[in-house]
Amino acid sequence: MYRQNAFDREGTFLKGSLHCHSTRSDGQDAPEDVIRTYYEHGYQFMALTDHNIFSRMTRTDHPITMLSGIERDMTILGFRKDRPLCVHIVGIGDPAAPEGPAHDEVIPNYGSYEDCSSAQGMIDEMHSWGLKTFYCHPEWSGTTYEDYRCLKGNFGVEVWNTGNVIENGLDTGTAHCWDQALDEGRRVWGVAVDDGHSMKVHCHGWVMVKAENSAPEILKALEEGSFYASCGPEIYDFCFRDGRAYVDCSDAVSVSFHTLRMPLRKTAGEHVTHAECDVYDGIHYVRAVVTDAQGRCAWTNPIFLR
């Protein structure tokens, strides 16, 4: 039997926000108000990831675990030259770690370049600060997987970005790009985030991480893929045995199974809480998407089969 990492260990799930903004950059609400809002919505951990300014906050007025964070950006020549718009990378880390910038230190825009490949230097610099990085809003950035496949070292890619869903109808589940990476054997995980710049955008997309509630353990679990992403449904188990994939979940209207090179079956109904699917020999990996009656989704990370 193969069981996805998030369901293959003891412990409880922690709800977390990995990408949000405040008045420290271009958000509309003060950091303390943003933190309070997430705490009141049941989040156990979060990172403030304001644009080009480092957050190393360790104490708040609420018992919520803080990660250090920043969103960095690099400009590309843009659509007028048949190029993407930009590359944005979020970095999160342990605020108690000795590496990296100071709290509130401003890190300038990385610059303007011909294509995505130059962002590798920005990512490498963030890794030297002890941060874990993930790729932001591929659709909003005007990028395809072919554009950013050259970038190495990101543990994840956004498959849901609330801000862009609300404002642009984009990044509602950028699964095809994710599937291309998985089909190449890259261990890259799907994350759901808010990217909120105002209160109406906060608390609609999150990750559920199986870890002890401390910054080092949360970061380790994220890197290992011991989490699932959601904007509503809960997932209780995801495993593979004897040629079939299985999902147990909260009340849903469908559970669909996915891999890049072969269509897999979907289970649909009024109250779906369990689903199974045959997985053919030779498939690299399988993942699942749970959809509830309100159209909200949850995404498992993949089980790699070879």
Burial class (CB in 10 A: 0-12, 13-18, 19+), 261: exposed
pLDDT of residue 79: 75
Q: Which residue has the tokens 């869903």?
A: 165
Mean pLDDT of the region 13-21: 98
Residue 256 has pLDDT above 90, yes or no: yes
Q: List the domain boundaries for the chain.
A: 2-231, 234-306
Mean pLDDT value across the chain: 95
For the segment 197-223, the average pLDDT, to the nearest whole number, is 97
Question: pLDDT at position 148, please?
Answer: 96
- Strands, E assignment, the chain: 2-3, 13-17, 45-47, 65-76, 86-93, 112-113, 132-135, 156-161, 189-193, 206-210, 227-230, 235-241, 244-258, 266-278, 285-291, 297-299, 303-304
Contact 174, 142 (CB under 8 A): no
225-251 per-position pLDDT tens digit: 999 999 999 999 999 999 999 999 999
Instruction: Report pLDDT for 175.
Output: 81
User: pLDDT per residue over 122-168, tens digit each?
Assistant: 999 999 999 999 999 999 999 999 999 999 999 999 999 999 999 99
C-alpha angle with apex 123: 120 to 128, nearest 5 degrees?
125
Q: Read off the tokens for 123.
A: 């990512």
Cα torsion angle, 192, 22, 71, 57, sign = negative
Tokens of 26: 């271009």
The whole-number pLDDT of residue 50 equals 97
Instruction: Pick 222 or 58 by higher pLDDT.
Output: 222
Tell me the longest C-alpha to C-alpha distance in the chain.
Answer: 53
Name the band, by pLDDT with cuts 50, 70 and 90, for residue 173: confident
Structure tokens at 56: 């190393």
pLDDT at position 183 is: 95
CATH topology classification for 234-306: Immunoglobulin-like (2.60.40)
Q: How confident is the model at residue 172 (pLDDT cuts 50, 70, 90)?
A: confident
What distance lies between CA 168 and its chain's CA centroid?
Answer: 19
What does CATH list as the number for 2-231?
A: 3.20.20.140
Q: What is the DSSP letter of 142?
A: T
CB atoms within 10 A of CB 220: 15
Whole-angstrom distance, CA of residue 36 vs CA of residue 17: 13
pLDDT in tens, 42-97: 999 999 999 999 999 888 889 999 999 999 999 998 777 788 999 999 999 999 99
pLDDT interval class at 174 (50, 70, 90): confident
**Local confidence band at 102 (pLDDT 50, 70, 90 cut-offs):** very high
Q: What is the pTM of this model?
A: 0.97
Confirm if 124 and 130 have CB atoms less than 8 A apart: no
Q: How much is the average pLDDT of 177-193?
A: 96
